[in-house]
Structure 1
């Protein structure tokens, strides 16, 4: 077999020596040390394959591997799930059908709870204080289910999808109260919107009206959004062959911040302030130089198509009239200064106010829906040849002191 030295490899790839070693640490190249020659060597065929890959997809950065994905296209007019418009799916499908599409399995997927895992998750949730946030409860339920699943480390595709479906069904059932006979909860089945509703509503016994159907659409729209921060975190975990529960936990960790999954709660709070006097609430934010929650998106130049789809659904619901009047007034006020359009966080907040959901319900909706997307990305990542995420750090701390030679 023909081998190249580090210098020859760096020259062939058009990178520095340090980058060659970085490629080796990330599994892109295999370092070989000969018995008679000092230094690392690399198989010419492997180097040529990496060079060809660089020509095809752009030069490897040497920092974080490019992520190729066939799951979701995020662009103006989208998103599209494997080529299918998400807005169209929201009109007719549920999360179970979308999971089958994103996971590339026959569907619909059934999110049925496992009785043993449900008992463990329910007991863990019962130990939490009443003030625990929805995402805290979701995270605890996932961890409890993981601890009770001895076969969770199986990352073969069929095992992953089966484990993921059971995990989400168990967590939703536990959050909805199924682990407690006295608590109202919907029956198990393919669509998690019904059993999730009691965990979202301020008064689970009240007539939900069209709320669960709007929730069904919201879950579909939020199932995936490309390489968002939480999805990258989930993929990093999957790249180490971490199990599904760990992948979801990684996604939840990145989701739990005001710049990502908590944005819906901030939009809900702002909408509550604006319901009585939208111009005044908007003026207060603008006067303070603050970002207006629920408006603008880093991807879409115009309106967020997910917000359009969800708000259009709410316009058919008489309960939403007052809330949508507020949304429209805020939108007009923002447009006056060529401001950004509403995003899906504002649309989700409008759904929450329309059907009197808990202030943090949006976080739970987001986590439930996005779990499906994280699992889809984990399946893609499990198929990759090895860990790909090894950033090159730029050390900025104090340098080691060089020992002084005696004079």
Structure 2
């Protein structure tokens, strides 16, 4: 058997679409290299394809297929919004890193929703809640809106587009702690006292964070949308999932790791986390074995501080894993002297663009209602 095969042969042996083959590559399950005879074409390692084909053939029971899709597994629903292929992130087929060179978050949000042209302005917005904590303000503003907004299913698309813009503005106001007009990145920069040279870094970060395929918070938003819930309720579901320490709250773990590295040394901190069999926060990503492109694009625009730069070098040398977006956000917050909870706020404001786009897409589809594999006590009377 030939060691390397073309994409058509690889897909035929697996019985998958091109997107699925690319997903296998991005997750490190299939190795790929350029074709020496044609650098524009890729070759796929036949042994990796054979191993995947064997695993696919062992069991195709619905329960086994569903269980394998839950954690970084096979795609579970159709979407035309975002994909991750060959280590790169694409919004509607366009490279997110390139889009971050010029787009604002508002423009990226319209692209994700499948729209074009000028932003639509809705009704006047109330002032943001008075809470000191940014996360509390984000939750409060969405909860208040979700409690009064009508269901999204069946509403006029123009009304939904206007509602989408209002929701993003409300979240930006909540993160800033005050109402504002103009591009969201400039409003956040002004509220956080960022110098003009830092405004573009915030803009880039927001665009790179706008969506990330079917992550936990987006799936939560889609589940809510499948019931016909309002856009605010869908965004609230997304925010609830994002707030966990294994999702949007991962920047806090990264910050703790960085503080540990200052106390000990970068090498000692990395070794301690690895000895305790803990994943090193801020490094590696299951979907990007070659490195998180979002972090790569952002970190190319500024130099992390000396302590974080030393930590990055030590961890990458010890583990071979590149810095991910959580490291980049902590480094950005330090570079611009942002509030401690700014990484989560940036994440939430930016990702609301994706939540809304996915909610609109899912709202036209079926109810998401999986079944549980029961492993509890034997039911009485059976």
TM-score class normalised by the smaller sequence: 0.7 to 0.9
Q: Which whole-Å CA distance do the structure 2 matches of 1:298 and 1:359 have between them?
A: 27
Q: Is 1:138 the counterpart of 2:125 in the alignment?
A: no
Query: Which residue of 75, 92, 117 corresponds with 1:82?
Result: 92
Matches within 5 A, 1:180-329: 187-189=180-182, 191-197=183-189, 201=192, 204=193, 207-274=194-261, 277-315=265-303, 320=304, 323=305, 325-329=306-310
Superposed CA deviations along residues 209-240 of structure 1, whole A, max 9, x for unmatched, are: 42221011000000001000111111111111
Hey, what does 2:165 align to over in structure 1?
165
Q: 1:147 deviation in Å?
A: 3.8
Q: 1:157·1:379 contact (CA, 8 Å) conserved in 2?
A: no
Q: What's the TM-score, normalizing by structure 2?
A: 0.74
Structure 2: where are the runs of 5+ without partners? 1-59, 70-74
- Shift of residue 289, structure 1, vs aligned partner: 3.5
* Contact preservation (8 Å) 2:151, 2:229: no
Conserved? CA contact 2:151–2:230, under 8 Å: no
Partners of 1:99 and 1:93 in 2: CA distance: 10
The TM-score with structure 1 as length reference comes to: 0.70
Q: 1:66: Cα distance to partner?
A: 3.2
Report the Cα offset of residue 283 of structure 1: 3.6
Change (3 A) 1:93 1:333: same
- CA 151–197 in structure 1, closer or farther in 2 if over 3 Å, else same: farther
Selected match of 2:346 from 352, 365, 372? 365
The aligned length equals: 313
Which residue number in structure 2 is paired with residue 96 of structure 1?
Answer: 106
SS in 2 for 1:364: helix
1:342 counterpart = 2:342: no
Contact 2:295 2:325 in 1 (8 A): yes
Contact between 1:234 and 1:251, CA under 8 Å: does it hold in 2? yes
Query: Which range is displaced more, 168-177 or 83-92?
Result: 168-177
- CA deviation after TM superposition for structure 1 residue 104, in Å: 1.3
Write the distance in 1 (CA, Å) between the matches of 2:122 and 2:267.
Answer: 46
Q: Which is higher, the Rg of structure 1 or of structure 2?
A: 1
Provide structure 1 residue ranges, at least 5 long, that are not aligned to the other structure. Answer: 1-58, 180-186
Summarize the Cα distance change of 1:211–1:232 in structure 2 as closer, same or farther, 3 Å threshold: same
CA contact (8 A) 2:282 2:327 kept: yes
Aligned alpha-carbon RMSD (Å)? 2.6
2:295 and 2:328 in contact (8 A); partners too:
yes
Instruction: Report the CA distance shift for 1:400/1:93 in structure 2 as closer, same or farther (over 3 A).
Output: closer
Cα separation, 1, equivalents of 2:364 and 2:281: 38
**How far 1:171 moved relative to its partner?**
2.7
In the superposition, relative to structure 1, how do residues 337 and 270 fare at CA in structure 2: closer, same or farther (>3 Å)? closer
Alignment correspondent of 1:42: none
